[in-house]
Amino acid sequence: MALITKSIKGTQDVLPRESHKIRFLEATALEIAGNYGFREIRTPVFEHTELFQRGVGDTTDVVQKEMYTFLDKGDRSITLRPEGTAGAVRSFLEHGLYNEPMPQKLCYLTSCYRYEKPQAGRLREFHQFGVECLGTASPAADAEVIALANAYFSFLGVRGLQLELNSIGCKDCRKEYHKALHAYFDSRREELCATCRDRLDRNPMRILDCKSPVCAAIAKDAPKVLDYLCDDCRRHFEQVQAFLGAMGISFTVNPTIVRGLDYYSRTVFEFVSTEIGAQGTVCGGGRYDGLVEEIGGPHTPALGFGLGLERLLLLMEAQKLPFPEPERCSLYVASMGDAALQTAVQIVSSLRQEGVYAECDVVGRSVKAQMKYAGKIGAKFTMVLGDSELESGKALLKNMETGEQTEMTLDGFEGDFLRLSISESLKELEALGVETDIDVDAIMNTTLF
């Protein structure tokens, strides 16, 4: 039978055999962010289009070429979020978080949507871990946010990432820089692509971010923003570097980084890899001291980053880094006959209420087929119930790895199995050289059995 349709180009399904990897990356991200005081925020997948036009910038590739924008049934222009910051800032303002103690530290795991050519690690629907720190202008905050990303990569064991750092200054010192850029690019106006010719008079810095090979080649010799920083921005950038040095975080200054969104100011940074192709930026961020005001709020200095989970996963797989194994079935209870199945259902249900992954037959397979299925799902223990087991009140529990069988009493089986399962887990830890002083009886006293 032919499929009615397939997944849309630039999207992908995360199958059960891979989803545990994404869950691990997400859980780890939230845990590490929590260590830095960041709390999770969740915002809608779509917003009014003007939020991104004003916030992200109407001269950016994102707004000009990549947004998924449509009219809803009320004739309102709606856009699927292309990034996470604008929505988080809108929520910060709408719910008055600026009245709460500062800085407000927000983090999120979110899906984003951009219409661009799909490549490895670069999809039209992609997922980000992001953080936003609102209400501080201190260079120490810049270093802290960078340190958070660095701590995440270090915990995961990712190798070879290069932290690249730059400052694009404030509105005041960028005025002179824009003049220098305009003069440089204007002398080669006819060589620029049509989009960059339009940007030249509106925001010449955006030309530095153009993906056209011709524009990129011209931009290589353009004036560097570091040569135009005002005293305050230069001092801020020097302090950021000093804080990073104090934390032992290595970096290189890359004066060509401008980031692809208009809201950035002062510090910008990227964590870059050479192992995942041309799109090597795994994490990028920086300051956006004017964004809150641009969207309609009070002046609120802020900064953050976005980290692509697909690119991170691609990099970790390229480096063959380990992921925790998906949880295995602890017990499979096979059964013969209706009475045995009813008992199996009762045992499995009780164990599940105690947080144990347990299974029994819900298909109507033969015992042989049930045991074959138990092997396929990697069940640690199995037990077969039939009329004789129900009559005697006892059954054999089989360790599927060692083949060892233990006679178990069905009355109170759940508690006995939990005790056995915990003991086996402790033995596995001891075999790995992990010393434990866990009291099994103490653990059992916290259960329902």
Collapse the DSSP code of 284 into the 3-class scheme (helix H, G, I; strand E, B; otherwise coil) and give the result: strand
The dihedral sign for the CA sequence 317, 319, 320, 326: negative
Expressed in percent and rounded to 5, the helix, strand and coil fractions of the chain are 45, 20, 35
What pLDDT does 427 receive? 61
The dihedral sign for the CA sequence 171, 173, 176, 182: negative
What pLDDT does 207 receive? 87
Q: How far is CA 11 from the centre of its chain?
A: 16
What pLDDT does 60 receive? 77
Digit-coded pLDDT (tens) for 137-168: 999 999 999 999 999 999 999 999 999 999 99
Digit-coded pLDDT (tens) for 225-266: 999 999 999 999 999 999 999 999 999 999 888 876 778 899
Q: How far is CA 300 from the centre of its chain?
A: 26
Q: Which residue has the tokens 């988080």?
A: 88
Phi, psi for 40 (deg, rounded to 5) = -75, 140
What pLDDT does 436 receive? 55
Q: Which two tokens stand for residue 145?
A: 């946010």
Helix or strand (DSSP H, E) at 328 = none
Q: Which residue has the tokens 């397939």?
A: 6
Sheet containing strand 252-253, strands side by side = 39-40, 104-113, 125-134, 302-308, 281-287, 265-272, 162-167, 252-253
Task: Answer for the pair 272, 280: CB distance below 8 angstroms, yes or no.
Answer: yes
Q: Is the pLDDT of residue 304 over 60?
A: yes
- Structural domains in the chain, sorted by start: 16-170+230-318 (3.30.930.10), 331-444 (3.40.50.800)
State percent of the chain over pLDDT 90: 70
What pLDDT does 449 receive? 45
pTM above 0.85, yes or no: yes
Digit-coded pLDDT (tens) for 160-205: 999 999 999 998 988 888 889 889 998 888 888 988 888 888 888 8
Closest CA to 233 of 305, 287, 295, 162: 287
Strand partners of residue 360: 333
Digit-coded pLDDT (tens) for 338-388: 999 999 999 999 999 999 999 999 999 999 999 999 999 999 999 999 999
What pLDDT does 279 receive? 63
What pLDDT does 175 receive? 87
CB atoms within 10 A of CB 127: 20
Cα–Cα distance measured from residue 154 to residue 307, given in angstroms and rounded to the nearest whole number: 14
